[in-house]
A = this chain, B = another copy of it.
């Protein structure tokens, strides 16, 4: 697959893939005889993993750490295991923060929904926003 096709499959741009390669999140791609990057199908999964991590608020450096562990083939090394345990811990904390935030926003929403919607003219731009 060429870079544009691969990027589109992962919902990214070709620029972003070159950037990720530069940052070490993607291994240097194979090259076609004409010099074009040639990606394997699995690259899309890798990119989707990166995207999930980004959406979750991880930095590219953190995602890179996780990927480098995966790339090693999951050697039974205490350091690798501990790194992953740390990542899990961080993710749990992040999920807890997000859940707390959701609860707070849900309270705001319920209070707003309790009011009479007819009290606000839908034709007019809301004067508050």
| Chain A residues engaging chain B, CB cutoff 8 angstroms | 49, 52-53, 55-58, 65-66, 68-70, 72, 74-81, 83-85, 87-88, 91-95, 97-102, 104-106, 108-109, 111-117, 119-120, 122, 125-126, 128-129
Contacts and interface: CB of A to CB of B under 8 A. Distances in A.
A129 B87 CA distance: 15
Nearest to A119: B76
Q: How many copies does the complex hold?
A: 2
A118 to B, nearest CB: 9
Q: Shortest 10 CB-CB distances between A and B: which pairs? A: A76-B115, A57-B57, A79-B126, A84-B109, A77-B120, A56-B98, A55-B97, A81-B112, A74-B111, A91-B102
Contacts of A57: 55-57, 94, 98
A72 B128 contact: yes
